[in-house]
Amino acid sequence: MKKILIAFGGNALLRNGDDSTFDSQLRRATEAFERIAGIILDNNVIITHGNGPQVGNILLQNETSQKVTKPMPLHACGAMSQGLIGEILAEAYDSVKLKHGLMKEASVILTRTVVDKDDPAFINPSKPIGPYYDRETADHLMETRKWQMKEEPNKGYRRIVPSPVPMDIVERSAIFNCLNDGFMPICTGGGGIPVVKSQRGYMGVDAVIDKDLASSLLARILEVDRFVILTDVNGVYRNYGNPNQELISKISAKDLEKELESGMFPKGSMGPKVMAALDFARSTGKQAVIGSLDDAGKVIEGETGTLIQ
Ligand code: ADP
Ligand code: MG
């Protein structure tokens, strides 16, 4: 029995063409658990997940209902998305348990991720979030809410927030004990709620943390045997999107690092996954895999996808 951390990508809840209703997301999540049920049966599994579209919708609800209820800060919206996705994943998991003979219970853990208040990302926010606004509304928001906004050609203005490096997981012991007691933790959703150390404890900050980097950190803290990133492509490609694209099936951390440094992987998508896998493989000497959710069983066994060691 191995300890395996599985990070679900956006496609575990929503796919192109899906509406974002609760029921659609529940259906996708159920499909995702169907694919990894065998792995959960034979191993100790920790699930983490993204929250991009869900927190985007919560932010939109926040902004459009301002006249009725007070908007909540971004970190609180992150917390709401963890609760929402936690419910969807727990309900989906429960619905496949009986069929697959799974006795293990899922436990959703609201997770806070510690970031450094002096992280350079706070001086240079770069991550766009939430809806697009026209110039006038953007000016108003910059003045009244002190938001930083950036124009995207032909689309309008969008809020940009810092994406600092995850340093620690506040609920690390809770997750560890939950796993050791035989539960399947569902945690660190959306990379965790970003917090900084304060005099009395921790304080939420308006930022977003990359879910793959936070998952990698948790995988190292929990000393898992394998770190798995499930997404919507078959693995990491060289020259992705070009006629000469080529799937990397097995690569050493050292060689992958060279490819990353050459600028092969874009910052917004495959870059952080590669970095997350590299951080894990380098510091533990164990394997990380990146592959498609649709082939989850084979990816986790290292039979397909990109294996980094
Ligand atoms: P997730 O939502 O699963 O966390 P992302 O959508 O952020 O994942 O990233 C996955 C996407 O990265 C793929 O759908 C693909 O379009 C894109 N991508 C960019 N570069 C590469 C690459 N070199 N190899 C594979 N996929 C890549
Ligand atoms: Mg995605």
Does residue 151 fall inside a structural domain? Answer: no
Residue 248: the pLDDT is: 98
The model carries a pTM of 0.97
Provide the residue range defining the domain that includes 293. Answer: 3-112+165-308
In a domain, 30, yes or no: yes
- Tell me, using a 6 A CB cutoff, whether residue 190 lines ligand 1: no
Residue 265 near ligand 1, beta carbon < 6 Å: yes
In this predicted structure, what is the pLDDT of residue 52? 93
CATH number, residue 90: 3.40.1160.10
Listed residue (8, 9, 28) closest to 20, CA to CA: 28
Residue 158 belongs to a domain: no
In a domain, 55, yes or no: yes
**Please, are residues 283 and 2 in contact by the beta-carbon 8 Å criterion?**
no
H or E stretch at 29: helix 22-42
Decide if 131 is inside a domain. no
Q: Could you tell me the two tokens for 123?
A: 């001086």
Query: Is 263 part of the annotated catalytic residue set?
Result: no
Asked, for residue 93, whether it belongs to a domain, the answer is yes
Tally of structural domains, the chain: 1
Structure tokens at 101: 């003979």
- 112 sits in the region (left: phi over 0; alpha: psi -120 to 50; else beta) called beta
Q: Which of 50, 62, 127, 192 is catalytic?
A: 127
Tokens of 172: 């690390």
Domain annotation covers residue 295:
yes
197 part of a folded domain: yes
Angle between helices 74-100 and 52-64 (to 10 degrees): 130
Three-class SS state of 117: coil
> Ligand 1 within 6 A of 93 CB?
no
Q: How far is the CA of 112 from the centre of ligand 2 (A)?
A: 22
Per-residue pLDDT of the chain (309 residues; tens, 9 = 90+): 999 999 999 999 999 999 999 999 999 999 999 999 999 999 999 999 999 999 999 999 998 999 999 999 999 999 999 999 999 999 999 999 999 999 999 999 999 999 999 999 999 999 999 889 999 999 999 999 899 999 999 999 999 999 999 999 999 999 999 999 999 999 999 999 999 999 999 999 999 999 999 999 999 999 999 999 999 999 999 999 999 999 999 999 999 999 999 999 999 899 999 999 999 999 999 999 999 999 999 999 999 999 999
Please give all residues whose CB falls under 5 A of ion ligand 2, grouped by chain where several chains appear: 10
